[in-house]
Structure 1
Amino acid sequence: MSSESKDPGITNLAQSILENTKEVARYLQTSGIALPTFSPTAEALPTTPDFQKLQARLRTQLEDLQLLVEGPPRFYRYFLTRGYDLGVFQTALDFGFFTLVPPEGDIALKELASQAGLDPDRTGRMMRLLITQRFFQENRPGFFAHNSFSIALQRDEDMRSMVHMSFDEMLKACAEAGAAIKANPFKTDGVHCPFYARFGVPVYDYFEKYPENSGRFAKAMAGWRKMANATAELTDNYPWANIEGTVVDIGGGSGHVSMEMAQLFPHLKFAVQDCDESVLAEGQQLLSDDIRDRISFTKTNFFEPQRFLGASVYLLRQCTCNWVDHDIVTIFKSVVPGLESSDPNTPLLINDMIIPEPGSEVERLWERERRQVDITMLMLFGAKQRTVAEFKTLLKEADTRYVIRKVHEQGALGLLEVYLDRGDGVNNIAS
């Protein structure tokens, strides 16, 4: 439940926005970072937790002020036309506008249209709508250049892949939400969800059926990590420096998280497991020489008993959100042989978004981001994000010896430290 419930009025909001804007500016100046502009050479903003809190507070107030100033009729007028904006954005990605516009200088409309394989009329109309949304710029008539928002996608293939996948596959599935839920109002899983209604196959079968999109999916997951700064909870809240051996990255996809952690913790080895051979192959191509001998890739199904025995850590990162409860129980059961073969202090780390418990007093945007991702899981997998209590119930159903020792839930993703109680009292501390 959002902690913002009072109506401050527009003048009080405006004054608070001014003060918080000054605080953001002071933070950036103190950090030696130039104030943001729309210039393509603008510096990247920091991703520290302190700055993200400032951002969230200011964004919440800006949103409230905009809603109050617009009023319901004007708000709905713009809200209902966002689908057309998204259609133009997707077309720009499909036809390569973000990469065809040069990183420096500009490109003539006719040349852009020619390279895109599209007629100049529609090219110009779509580009000019994007410009009103603060993507690209037209500093002289008929010539287009990047601004800070468009060039971010030009420069970063991972981020561009995340955005493109969201338009090309995920939003198309969302368009089937009403019909799919009406068809199955009391059942939800990978074949009773909007994605299946749109494409006729579950998500993971889709990428096997269309392997040309599988590589983009792997890059998209890396892009999501960059957007959300989503490894901080994992890297900062567990004593990685104090352990030795191998971290088993269960369902690790292309291994982009293991690669980042291998850079941070050069004394550790990582075993990436996934059932998609094309994604694993994508990961092997991304290995740099300094970590190549410390990361292995194995085709493994995490519904089957864990075959890597004697690990230092078993990691399930952003896997639980993709499956319904009975599947999660099976996944948790499959890890037990690995934990039983390892030191009693070996954890199962569950690194996934944690939904706040009903009635919790939390920031509105913080809660919204989590509930947006929860609905994403509903649309794509018929699955969900979970509260700590829900995780605890599923763990106990899988094996009564599972205990949660620590919970970290305030960052982009949460982190649960889960242990197997061997009866010696070592891990008999449930949260």
Structure 2
Amino acid sequence: MASQEMTATQSSSLSILALAQEILERTQDMTKFFQANNLLSPSFALGSDDPPNNPEYRRLHADLKTSLEDLLRLIDGPRRWLRTFCCTGYDLGALQIALDFDFFHHVPTQGDISLEELAKRSGLDFDRTSRVVRQLRTYRIFEELRPRAISHSSTSLVLRQDDDVRSVVHYSLDEMLKAAADCNVSLKANPHEAHQNLNPFVTRHGVGMFEFYQKYPPKARRFAKAMAGLRKMDNHLDYLLSHSFDWSAISGTVVDCGGGNGHISCSLAQYYPNLNFIVQDSNIDMLAEGQESLPENLYGRVTYLEHNFFEPQPTKDVAAFLIRQCTHNWADNDVVTIFKSFVPGLENSSPDTPLLINDIVIPEPGVWPRHQERIVRQVDMVMLVNCGAKQRTRAEFEMLLKEADPRYEIRNVFDNGPLGLLEVYLKQT
């Protein structure tokens, strides 16, 4: 993750042969990793699982993907690459059709279904059904192993079987991509100001994102499932939260502020039996989703409380406060208010009670491999579009904390992963 980006001179001197040699060597390293760990190599076989998620594999993946991307860009050239990139929206339109017409459930988990029958069951005419499915199969979403007979690929099977992951894809296309398409309209109208009620999402949907989900409870439930699905898709993001902070050194209650349906609290509760968790959120539908899906072995240890984190924190004598992937939803002045709201809770707890801010800590350009930096900056663009907000650097976090209360101090920063962790304390005299 910390490998340095190549200099401009090194990058411009790359040749396709040199890159191909790098790819061969890095593929061999990855193959050795699978063999040494008695793991099956990735395949397109139906039902094949995702590769492992550990630091060694992530390093090998980063090295290989960097070389693969560079080779692809070289052999495509700028014009061909731009043509492909700018047309991605049409392919996503095909995927949204498949979701809205429920193609994934109409195709059986075993065997296949004729295109004619798929069209009949979905309620879409044969012509457009076949065109959509055949475009998706070029991405290995669905298969057509026999003429006009559609079966699942490993990717489409995941979208059939995993409601959380399907929700990620569906909400991204149904709400977010539409908002992104109105970026130019929104920013031209307000080029110097952005916040929860002034951003491309509002331009598209008429209200801010959180008001939107209060207005449409079924979409709020899908959004809650999507947040759980994103955790499955990006489960490496939990590494710093679970492994950098010493959870075993504390005992008592952890308050998970803005915790949605509580999937993070449930995960931590499974690993740390010395801790109980209170999940706070202002969205009662997300809280209800969490209560409905709470495992029986966590009854009594994970509880749910309606609370708006802009209001003073009512909970006292706790082991830690956690706010995860929330600050990036809000403009700077709102984040200052959020940080101020924690002060009463921290003042009424031990001086050793931390405020844990689990969010992306934006790196300096070129410190991370390009494709990994792209992911965190992609999330930054998501925040620009949907919330009029942003991801922040360590210095920006520190500035907002001090503005909220000069007694705040950052004691530890873990930023060697795609989702960082700031360990913050309130100095009490």
TM-score, normalised by the number of residues in structure 2: 0.96
Distance 1:125 1:194, change over 3 A: same
Matched residue SS, 2:141: coil
Q: Does 1:4 align with 2:11?
A: no
Q: CA deviation at 1:214?
A: 0.5
- In 1, distance between residues paired with 2:366 and 2:50? 33
Q: Does 1:199 align with 2:201?
A: no
Q: CA deviation at 1:321?
A: 0.3
> Structure 1: any 5+ residue segments left out of the alignment?
424-431
Residue of structure 1 in register with 2:388 after alignment: 382
Task: Tell me the matched-pair count.
Answer: 422
Q: CA deviation at 1:195?
A: 0.3
Q: CA deviation at 1:362?
A: 2.4
Deviates more, 1:309-318 or 1:104-113: 104-113
Q: Does 1:271 align with 2:278?
A: yes
Aligned-pair identity (%): 50
Matched residue SS, 2:178: helix
Residue of structure 1 in register with 2:315 after alignment: 308
**Residue among 401, 405, 413 paired with 2:419:** 413
Residue of structure 1 in register with 2:345 after alignment: 338
Alignment map for 1:23-42 (pairs within 5 Å): 23-42=29-48
Residue of structure 1 in register with 2:143 after alignment: 137
Question: 1:344-384 deviations in whole A, cap 9, x for unaligned?
Answer: 11000000011014x56322122111111011100000000
- In 2, distance between residues paired with 1:395 and 1:99? 48
- 1:34–1:43: 8 Å Cα contact kept in structure 2? no
Q: CA deviation at 1:28?
A: 1.5
Deviates more, 1:321-330 or 1:21-30: 21-30
Q: CA deviation at 1:156?
A: 1.3
- In 2, distance between residues paired with 1:75 and 1:408? 36
Alignment map for 1:257-406 (pairs within 5 Å): 257-357=264-364, 361-406=367-412
Residue of structure 2 in register with 1:428 after alignment: none
Matched residue SS, 1:293: coil
- 1:4–1:364: 8 Å Cα contact kept in structure 2? no
**Residue among 18, 27, 30 paired with 1:21:** 27
Q: CA deviation at 1:46?
A: 0.5
Q: CA deviation at 1:73?
A: 2.1
Q: CA deviation at 1:410?
A: 1.6
Q: Does 1:73 align with 2:73?
A: no
Q: CA deviation at 1:168?
A: 0.6
- In 1, distance between residues paired with 2:334 and 2:362? 19
**Amino acid aligned to 2:135:** L
Residue of structure 1 in register with 2:224 after alignment: 218
**Amino acid aligned to 2:208:** P
The alignment yields a C-alpha RMSD, in angstroms, of: 1.3
Residue of structure 2 in register with 1:252 after alignment: 259
Residue of structure 1 in register with 2:250 after alignment: 243
Matched residue SS, 2:296: coil
Q: CA deviation at 1:279?
A: 0.8
- In 1, distance between residues paired with 2:109 and 2:244? 38
**Amino acid aligned to 2:63:** R
- In 2, distance between residues paired with 1:137 and 1:41? 13
The structure 1 segments of at least 4 consecutive aligned residues displaced by more than 4 Å after TM superposition are none
Q: CA deviation at 1:74?
A: 1.6
Q: CA deviation at 1:76?
A: 2.1
- 1:349–1:415: 8 Å Cα contact kept in structure 2? yes
Q: CA deviation at 1:393?
A: 0.3
